[in-house]
Chains A and B, each alone.
Chain A
């Protein structure tokens, strides 16, 4: 009776590998553009986790030191299939990049002169804008529509636009403000109910 379960697990790990190979091969322009790809492969196609869980994972990955794309892959992999899921997802998300760079380094001089690679990337840069917008919409939809959200969104935007403050400190600031705000809110509601 143990065999079918074992086979199922192997199948799942294999599918997880394939998904993260795809995600690794099509992640351009940093970790943010990865969100629609994970949403498509892991949430919509295989339904291994929910949108909400994915956004939680991404938020934690952002606040943790290290490579965001790797953080995400490890976490999602762990959530889907435990330790082996984490290990395989991490390796698979890195493999396409690793091999592409190995190949490019063999032809470094001629690669720099390939005109159509430049053109393709000029196009991809525009495509990334769309992927980033999809990511913003996806996360934005889960936010409560109130002044608190708007203030945090605007301050994060302005801080990253006009200062050199590291992203991690902006996120830590948001955590502190968020927790303090909610503690006060609970206290105020509490005292109101008493009176």
Chain B
């Protein structure tokens, strides 16, 4: 998606080459769908608040319309034998794809240049601790709690411990 945005937005001179790098970096570290973040940024940069609204609506609209169409038809085709086969192997492929994303995030989080980041390991262990604690209680770990807890642990370990 990033090359597409760069091509469209930078060539039309709505956003400068330097700014787009900042926008991408911030969009990756703020909550919400990346596409919404980056198009809001580009919209504001091109023509203020109204630009932001139109850019965001523009990036949402194709997804919305395509899925709306598929969702309407889905009751009929989801019971189709071949669609079931296809979805089963898509699931397996998604497991593999997420597997690699986990691998990438681990490398990003644990390897600080060439050094192993022990603080990251402590944070990870504490988070796993919370996960297991909930399992013992026979409850499910709350993903929102995990995000808040990890943000807090990040600030604590990287900000306050030398």
Contacts and interface: CB of A to CB of B under 8 A. Distances in A.
Interface of A: 22, 24-32, 36-37, 40, 44, 55-56, 58-71, 74-75, 78-79, 83, 86-87, 90-91, 93-94, 96-98, 100-102, 104-105, 108, 111-112, 115-136, 139-140, 142-144, 148-149, 152-158, 160-161, 167, 170-171, 173-175, 177-179, 181-183
Contacts of A126: 109, 120, 123-124, 127, 150, 153-154
A121 B126 CA distance: 16
B66 interface: yes
Given A96-B31, A139-B94, A157-B99, A71 B67 contact: yes
Interface in B59-83: 59-60, 62-64, 66-68, 70-72, 74, 78, 82
Contact of B90 (A44, A90, A135, A171): A171
Interface in B2-23: 22
Contact of B26 (A104, A148, A158): A104
Given A65-B62, A101-B37, A94 B56 contact: yes
A181 B92 CA distance: 14
8 residue pairs, one from A and one from B, having the closest CB atoms: A123-B154, A97-B32, A178-B89, A127-B150, A156-B96, A66-B63, A69-B33, A174-B93
B60 A121 contact: no
Given A97-B40, A152-B96, A62 B124 contact: no
Most interface-central of A31, A118, A124, A149 (chain B CB within 10 A) = A124
Given A74-B68, A157-B99, A143 B32 contact: no
Contacts of B123: 123, 126
A101 to B, nearest CB: 4
B111 interface: no
Most interface-central of B95, B123, B153 (chain A CB within 10 A) = B95
A4 B117 CA distance: 57
Contacts of B85: 178-179, 181-182
Interface string B87-111: 1111111111111111101101100
B94 A129 contact: no
Nearest to B56: A98
26 contacts: A27-B31, A29-B28, A62-B90, A65-B62, A65-B66, A67-B34, A70-B64, A70-B67, A90-B60, A100-B30, A102-B44, A105-B41, A105-B44, A108-B26, A116-B155, A119-B158, A122-B109, A124-B151, A126-B154, A127-B127, A131-B146, A153-B95, A156-B99, A161-B103, A171-B93, A174-B90
A84 to B, nearest CB: 11
Contacts of A63: 90
Given A115-B159, A136-B102, A74 B63 contact: yes
A98 to B, nearest CB: 5
A117 B158 CA distance: 11
Interface in B119-145: 120, 123-124, 127-128, 131, 140-144
